[in-house]
Amino acid sequence: MHVVEVNDPRDDRLADYLRLRDVNLRKSLEAEHGLFMAEGEKVIRRALRAGFLPRSLLLTERRRNALADVVASGADDVAVYIVSEDVAKLLVGFDLHRGVLAAFHRAPLPAPEDVLDAARSVVVLEDIVDHTNVGAIFRSAAGLGIDSILLAPRCADPLYRRSIKVSMGAVFTQPYSRLDDWRCGLGLLRERGFTLLALTPDADAVPLDEALADGGPGRRVALLLGSEGDGLSTRWLGQADRGVRIAMAGRDVDSLNVTAASAIACYELARGTRG
Amino acid sequence: MHVVEVNDPRDDRLADYLRLRDVNLRKSLEAEHGLFMAEGEKVIRRALRAGFLPRSLLLTERRRNALADVVASGADDVAVYIVSEDVAKLLVGFDLHRGVLAAFHRAPLPAPEDVLDAARSVVVLEDIVDHTNVGAIFRSAAGLGIDSILLAPRCADPLYRRSIKVSMGAVFTQPYSRLDDWRCGLGLLRERGFTLLALTPDADAVPLDEALADGGPGRRVALLLGSEGDGLSTRWLGQADRGVRIAMAGRDVDSLNVTAASAIACYELARGTRG
């Protein structure tokens, strides 16, 4: 890699790093240029280990020696921009305490069929629209050993900076794909023999652990998780084989938060489809 | 209750509501006056249902009719302050979108002995210092049916505004107490026949579900959870009967986030000590 000091936050070479908290700008900029942003040394190293190619790095003066090994061994045509704390703040829009950012090239997503091939446990996210929730679900799924994640068309981007950060880089290693058809997307799973379980707060649904205990070894299970606000659509609920719930105790608490519920769901699903 | 319109954010009667995001100010102010703050209609109603006594309400003009039933039926000496959006912002330090706040009297916490009496499942938080994490753990524990929570002396306050909000009010109904002695606090549990399980990322520890499957029905289990950064102290780890872990799958993800791990832990503990 080659090191370049830049003093002007409006310098075109820094365009990848512009206004990182401006969600609308970032969504269009990252889609158009096929890039994603990683923040902090640990997460950047995970992206590199997972095989993603860097477009450039941006380090503040105070952290100019961070990632020295990466800078030394990386491809010559990749720039490492060194900027002052002030330039960094004007550029990205906040104090860059960690002082280490990288822009990466996105890789083409595999087709849904490809991530289902060898999978026994699949989590399907209908419309999780919050990047924090998507990141948290990926971290739990990867940590607990869910084989694949499928995203509905309107689900938030796992490679958005906030998702990456919350996932601690799990989005780089967790196999996933995105359905391009919401209406009929679940057909793919059914054709491959997956049992479709729909997570719901409905007190009449079967407890998750009971539903997973039914059925022989080696079967394939897809667990459908709905959006933060409204849960699963009527359409997807209707297409599922059965509704499942996490047993609740009452006590004037009627639900778990998305991170908690998805962690328990992934934990049971990984256990229920193992070996 | 009686309604009072106030136009000056410096009015002494509004002192309970000052600078809600100033953590240091709030900690000393709330301790000194024995109060806590609840935000939003749903959470305020949960505090009232749980039997907490309001000191006052604060409504913005736009939301002056929120909680009308509470205002009509509440004790006469409780004030309902109506303020403009601008006064609210100057007073609390941010845009009060929900427009509904309440200050409540704290009730004395029960002694640790008292919340252990009938308990079979207990979660013990060593030094969880983040209010968001404390709130999330309370929500999971209450939702999943953990009998009691014990807090170490340095654990964050469940009745801090942020904890309450993240818990969705579960802190009002979940039985809990605080140990006043960190060194010997676990002795209380041992005297009462609790098995002490320490949650750890250590790959040599026993999987949580296996540890809970050992041992007969009706036994009492306390699960120890350590701080966000460093986990459990050596002292508490040493006092536990055994270390337990949540089975991880590898994939370059070595841990779950606190909310995810504690949700799974509460889920297994509630199931493992049930009926």
Please, what is the Cα angle at B129 between B169 and B31, to 5 degrees?
A: 65
Q: What residues does A206 pair with on adjacent strands? A: A244
Is pLDDT at A275 greater than 90 in this prediction? no
pLDDT at B186 over 90: yes
Indicate whether A217 pLDDT > 80.
Answer: no
According to the model, what pLDDT value does residue A143 have? Answer: 95
Distance (Å, whole) CA A272 – CA B22:
46
Q: Provide the percentage of residues in chain A whose pLDDT is more than 70.
A: 99
Nearest to B100 by CA among B55, B58, B43: B58
Q: What is the pLDDT of residue B270?
A: 93
Per-residue confidence (pLDDT) for residue A27, from 0 to 100: 87
Query: Quick one: average pLDDT of A25-47?
Result: 92
Summarize the confidence of residues B4-29 as an average pLDDT: 92
Percent of chain B with pLDDT over 70: 99
Return the higher-pLDDT residue of B162 and A32. B162
A132-183 per-position pLDDT tens digit: 999 999 999 999 999 999 999 999 999 999 999 999 999 999 999 999 998 8
Q: CA dihedral defined by B132, B114, B266, B272, rounded to 10 degrees?
A: 180
- As a whole number, mean pLDDT of residues B41-65 equals 96
Q: Looking at chain A, which residue has its C-alpha nearest residue B147?
A: A249
pLDDT at B275: 60
Candidates B257, B258, B262, B274: best to mutate against A (most CBs of A within 10 A) is B257
Q: What is the model's pLDDT at position A254?
A: 79
Q: Are B144 and B266 in contact (CB under 8 A)?
A: yes
CB contact under 8 A, B139 and A270: no
What pLDDT is attached to residue B214? 79
Which chain A residues touch B168 with a CB distance below 8 Å?
253
How far, in Å, are A42, A57, A127, A181, B226 from residue A28 at the CA level?
26, 21, 19, 22, 41
ipTM, interface predicted TM-score of the complex: 0.91
pLDDT of residue A49: 95
B19-24 mean pLDDT? 90
pLDDT of A229? 81
pLDDT mean across residues, chain B: 93
Q: How far apart are CA A38 and CA A137, in angstroms?
A: 18
- Give the whole-angstrom CA distance, residue B147 versus residue B120: 7
- Minimum Cα–Cα distance from A249: chain B residue: B145
Chain segment B200-221, per-residue pLDDT in tens: 988 889 999 999 987 766 789 9
Q: Looking at the complex, report in whole angstroms how far the Cα of residue B184 sits from the nearest Cα belonging to chain A.
A: 31
Check residue B7 and give left, alpha or beta (phi > 0: left; psi -120 to 50: alpha): alpha
Specify the pLDDT at position B63. Answer: 95
Chain A residues near any Cβ of chain B (below 8 Å): 46, 49-50, 136, 139-140, 142-145, 166, 168-170, 172-174, 209, 246-257, 259-264, 267, 270-271
**pLDDT score of A253:** 79
Distant-in-sequence, close-in-space partners of B192: CB < 8 Å, separation ≥ 6 = B116, B220
Q: Which of A142, A248, A251 is nearest residue B253 as measured by Cβ atoms?
A: A142
Q: Which domains does chain A have, with CATH numbers?
A: 2-105 (3.30.1330.30), 112-272 (3.40.1280.10)
pLDDT-wise least confident of A55-59, A141-145, A214-218, B126-130: A214-218
In this complex, do B247 and A144 lie within 8 Å of one another by their Cβ atoms? Answer: yes
What's the whole-number mean pLDDT along residues A180-187?
Answer: 90
Task: Indicate if the pLDDT at residue A76 is higher than 70.
Answer: yes
| Average pLDDT of the residues in A17-34 | 89
**DSSP label at residue A248:** -
Task: Tell me how close the Cα of A145 comes to any Cα of chain B, in angstroms.
Answer: 5
Write out the E strands in chain A.
2-5, 35-39, 54-60, 79-83, 100-105, 121-125, 148-151, 176-178, 194-199, 206-207, 220-225, 242-245
Q: What is the pLDDT of residues B56-73, one digit of tens each?
A: 999 999 999 999 999 999
